[in-house]
């Protein structure tokens, strides 16, 4: 087993993940996330939808056709703000990943979706689809959880416990059985609102 | 109950003509005849559920082919109630459109209400030629007033040539998921409208609980969440108003449609 999924999932990996809240900032601005309980519900919904789709595409990118997957993931991402956030994270992840796991195969990618960048790096580092899925599923909630701590001053121990108790394993397993289409209507609305409001007033996170 | 319905619309002498129409109970296709003639020559058909459907165990299919240059508006008459069957089997409904070059389709069913013990799967798929236009609305209501929803999944897949424009699924049935601020944020109504209809907006338009989003490879998706269907449709209309390519005159919406209840089939289901 390689260490690729540990390195990618580490919050110290310089992939630019710290700039994104995954909808937490907009949901908090609307008063929908106020405490650990409402954060837990948000993260559960995020993992079951966006997390599952990301995990499945990361898994499929290991040994898969990255171009076809890019088109398919676009079709599952109706919100332009979500696509932009995914590609921004994908680009930063790829930039750091190229140095860690150099491979001419990565030249085929320029601004990949985040999930496909994860899968491609796991692939060239010699990892498995399951490791890529687990990593993507975890990243779909770990970054937003840490954003909530910073935005709302929540108890970091309790927030960490919420992340630890989410069923990443179940989502990882489900992600290995095909390319799901499950959308997240509220996350899409938050992403587009966030992008609109971000242009008018200062926000802490890009998305 | 297993039923397969089929509708074919073709352009003849500048008018859209129904060249094949096969209704299979419980779905009845009612063409609107005579009195009000669309200036654009659009064929107008109502999709009427002539018996209580879908019930658990039902397997309903509708296939619609729209030929080059033909125009069709297919509308619902009343809300669909997804109801449970006797033995808890899942009901299935599949609607498929094939739209040829310059063909135009508006498919505007009334809301689907997911009653408390319903178990229903629906699939909408459309295959579009390069210059085809499509408008498709879906309104899901989670339970009747004061009732928690049963289980429903709804899938939408739209392709233009070989390119997928939209693949999206909604799952209702896990209360923790529908309550999550990331998913439906506790709203009872989810409304969406897909427009593959000329120029898309350059950027997303959005309000508090609605947005009009240009898709990556063509077409736009309007989405709204609300406490009730009236508010949802109002938000959806607000979203659609920002679409530069779509105009209602073009879309035969100026027609005054008159529904005709078909009594002969109303009780055909025992």
Q: Which residues lie below 8 Å from residue B263, measured CB to CB, with a gap of 6+? A: none
Residue range B144-187, pLDDT digits in tens: 888 999 999 999 999 999 999 999 999 999 999 999 999 999 99
pLDDT category at B38 given cuts 50, 70, 90 is low
User: Is A80 close to B164, i.e. CB distance below 8 A?
Assistant: no
Determine which of A28, A49, A78, A165 to mutate to test the interface with B (most B C-beta atoms within 10 Å). Answer: A78
Rounded Cα gap, residues A134 and A178, in angstroms: 15
Sheet holding B91-99, edge to edge: B15-22, B2-12, B59-66, B91-99, B119-128, B151-160, B163-172
Q: Which residue has the tokens 């990565």?
A: A106
pLDDT value for A126: 97
CB B45 within 8 A of CB B27: no
Q: At what angle do helices A52-61 and A129-152 cross, to 10 degrees?
A: 140
**Residue A74 to chain B, least CA–CA distance (Å):** 6
**Cross-strand pairs, B190:** B140, B225
Least-confidence region, from B39-48, B197-206, B221-230, B236-245: B39-48
Domains in chain A: ranges and CATH: 20-198 (1.10.4190.10)
Question: What is the rounded (10 degree) CA torsion for A182, A16, B221, B93?
Answer: -10
Residue numbers in A near B221 (CB within 8 A): 78
Say whether pLDDT at A196 is over 90.
no
Rounded Cα gap, residues A49 and A110, in angstroms: 26
Q: At what angle do helices A129-152 and A168-175 cross, to 10 degrees?
A: 140
Give the helix ranges, DSSP H, for chain B.
175-179, 229-240, 263-266
H or E stretch at A72: helix A66-75
**Residue B184 to chain A, least CA–CA distance (Å):** 6
**Residue A109 to chain B, least CA–CA distance (Å):** 18
**Residue A199 to chain B, least CA–CA distance (Å):** 13
Rounded Cα gap, residues A58 and A93, in angstroms: 13
pLDDT category at B53 given cuts 50, 70, 90 is low
The nearest alpha carbon in chain B to A196 belongs to: B206
**Residue B108 to chain A, least CA–CA distance (Å):** 20
Residue numbers in B near A32 (CB within 8 A): 181, 185
Q: Among candidates A136, A142, A161, A147, which has minimal Cα distance to A23?
A: A147
Residue numbers in B near A193 (CB within 8 A): 206, 208, 211
Nearest to B211 among A23, A75, A188 (CB): A188
B65 touches chain A (CB under 8 A): no
Give chain B's end-to-end CA distance (angstroms, integer).
Answer: 11
Say whether pLDDT at B266 is over 60.
no
Question: What is the rounded (10 degree) CA torsion for A161, A163, A164, A170?
Answer: 150
B208 touches chain A (CB under 8 A): yes
User: Is A75 close to B171, i.e. CB distance below 8 A?
Assistant: no
User: Is A76 close to B168, i.e. CB distance below 8 A?
Assistant: yes
Domain ranges within chain B, ordered by starting residue: 2-257
Planar angle of CA B252, B257, B259, nearest 5 degrees: 145
Rounded Cα gap, residues B190 and B153, in angstroms: 13
Rounded Cα gap, residues A187 and A199, in angstroms: 19
User: Is A38 close to B181, i.e. CB distance below 8 A?
Assistant: yes
User: Is B167 close to A77, i.e. CB distance below 8 A?
Assistant: no
Using DSSP, state whether A15 is helix, strand or coil: coil
Residue range B212-253, pLDDT digits in tens: 999 999 999 999 999 999 999 999 999 999 999 986 545 544
Rounded Cα gap, residues B66 and B156, in angstroms: 19
B164 touches chain A (CB under 8 A): yes
Q: Which residues lie below 8 Å from residue B169, measured CB to CB, with a gap of 6+? A: A180, A181, A182, A183, B153, B154, B155, B156
**Residue B6 to chain A, least CA–CA distance (Å):** 27
Say whether pLDDT at A88 is over 80.
yes
B12 touches chain A (CB under 8 A): no
């Amino acid at each position: 087993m390689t260490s690729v999924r540990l390195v990618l999932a580490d919050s110290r990996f310089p992939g630019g993940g710290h700039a994104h809240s995954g909808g937490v900032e907009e949901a908090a601005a609307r008063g929908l996330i106020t405490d650990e309980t409402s954060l837990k519900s948000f993260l559960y919904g995020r993992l079951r939808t966006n997390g599952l789709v990301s995990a499945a595409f990361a898994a499929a990118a290991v040994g898969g056709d990255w171009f076809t997957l890019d088109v398919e993931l676009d079709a599952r991402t109706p919100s332009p703000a979500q696509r932009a956030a995914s590609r921004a994270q994908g680009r930063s992840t790829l930039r750091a990943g190229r140095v860690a796991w150099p491979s001419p195969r990565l030249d085929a990618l320029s601004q990949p979706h985040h999930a496909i960048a994860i899968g491609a790096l796991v692939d060239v580092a010699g990892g498995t689809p399951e490791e890529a899925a687990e990593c993507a599923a975890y990243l779909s909630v770990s970054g937003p959880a840490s954003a909530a701590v910073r935005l709302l001053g929540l108890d970091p121990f309790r927030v960490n416990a919420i992340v630890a108790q989410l069923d990443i394993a179940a989502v990882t397993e489900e992600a290995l059985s095909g390319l799901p289409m499950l959308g997240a209507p509220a996350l899409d609305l938050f992403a587009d609102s966030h992008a609109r409001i971000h242009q008018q007033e200062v926000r802490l996170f890009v998305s | 109950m297993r039923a397969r319905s089929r509708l074919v619309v073709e352009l003849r002498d500048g008018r859209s003509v129904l060249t094949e129409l096969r209704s299979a109970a419980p779905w009845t296709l009612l063409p609107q005849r005579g009195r009000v003639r669309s200036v654009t020559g659009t064929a107008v058909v109502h999709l009427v559920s002539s018996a209580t459907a879908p019930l658990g165990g039902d397997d309903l299919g509708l296939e619609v082919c729209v030929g080059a240059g033909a125009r069709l508006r297919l509308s619902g008459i009343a809300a669909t109630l997804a109801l449970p069957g006797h033995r808890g089997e899942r009901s299935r409904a599949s609607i498929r459109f094939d739209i040829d070059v310059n063909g135009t389709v508006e498919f505007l069913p009334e809301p689907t209400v997911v009653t408390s013990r319903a178990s229903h799967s629906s699939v909408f798929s459309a295959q579009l030629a390069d210059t085809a236009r499509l408008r498709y609305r879906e309104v899901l209501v989670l339970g009747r007033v004061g009732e928690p929803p049963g289980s429903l999944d709804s899938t939408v897949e739209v392709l233009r040539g070989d390119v997928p424009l939209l693949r999206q699924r909604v799952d209702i049935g896990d209360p923790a998921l529908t309550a999550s601020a990331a998913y439906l944020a506790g709203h009872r109504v989810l409304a969406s409208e897909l427009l593959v209809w000329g120029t898309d907006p350059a950027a997303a338009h959005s309000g508090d609980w609605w947005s009009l989003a240009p898709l990556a490879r063509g077409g736009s998706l309007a989405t709204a969440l609300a406490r009730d269907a009236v508010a949802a449709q109002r938000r959806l209309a607000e979203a659609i108003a920002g679409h530069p390519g779509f105009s209602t005159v073009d879309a035969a919406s100026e027609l005054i449609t008159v529904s005709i209840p078909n009594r002969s089939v109303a009780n055909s289901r025992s």
